[in-house]
């Protein structure tokens, strides 16, 4: 019998049904907007897990974990991938229904769920294992597009290097044109 907190080997449970899900319903968006559920989904990226395993890894009570998993399951973001009897109780193993969740663009002035959750994760990360930089740049359209392309390529390159036995690392990229900093005036006649 495997240790109680060992995750099932990848071959014993079905993989995610699809590579990605486009989130569109209010139920899905509410489910993903909670930082605890965001962290549970991130934890399940490395493979299916039981309520006990998720609770231990996330520092949650089992009842709280069960509550959040029910919401994620109702939203179609996780599913039960296997069950077994443990001391007379049915133990469920949960897995994601897709590897990637695609959120709609929040639009100007609307909260960005991804960045809110990433910021919450950053704030709780150990200071010696994070890098935060903010640069205020002036870029023409071509340079802006080039930077966006290069940042995407860099994250895809390192994503391809990701292995299940390596430590977790999250990358959150923000490249945007702020609305409150217009171009400086070139009129020097005053």
Convert the pLDDT of each residue in 86-111 to its tens digit: 888 889 999 999 988 888 877 666 66
Burial of 185 (0-12, 13-18, 19+ CB in 10 A): exposed
pLDDT of residue 143: 96
If DSSP codes are grouped into helix, strand and coil, which group holds residue 21?
strand
Distance in angstroms (rounded) separating the CA atoms of residues 1 and 86: 11
Domain ranges of the chain: 10-160
Q: What percent of the chain has pLDDT over 90?
A: 43
pLDDT value, residue 113:
80
For 10-160, which CATH class?
mainly alpha
Say if residue 95 is exposed, middle or buried (CB neighbours under 10 Å; 0-12, 13-18, 19+).
Answer: buried
């Amino acid at each position: 019998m495997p240790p109680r907190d060992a995750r099932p080997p990848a071959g014993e449970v079905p993989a995610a049904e699809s590579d990605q899900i486009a989130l569109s319903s209010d139920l899905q968006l509410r489910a993903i907007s909670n930082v605890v559920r965001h962290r549970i989904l991130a934890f399940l990226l490395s493979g299916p897990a039981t309520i006990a395993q998720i609770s231990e890894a996330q520092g949650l009570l089992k009842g709280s974990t069960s509550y959040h998993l029910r919401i994620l399951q109702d939203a179609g973001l996780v599913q039960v991938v296997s069950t077994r009897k443990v001391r007379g109780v049915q133990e469920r193993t949960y897995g994601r229904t897709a590897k990637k969740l695609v959120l709609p663009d929040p639009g100007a002035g609307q909260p960005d769920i991804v960045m809110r959750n990433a910021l919450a994760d950053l704030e709780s990360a150990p200071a010696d294992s994070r890098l935060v930089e903010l640069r205020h740049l002036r870029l023409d359209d071509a340079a802006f597009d080039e930077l966006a392309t290069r940042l995407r390529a860099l994250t895809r390159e390192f994503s391809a290097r990701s292995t299940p036995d390596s430590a977790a690392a999250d990358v959150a990229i923000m490249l945007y044109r702020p609305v409150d900093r217009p171009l400086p005036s070139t009129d020097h006649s005053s």
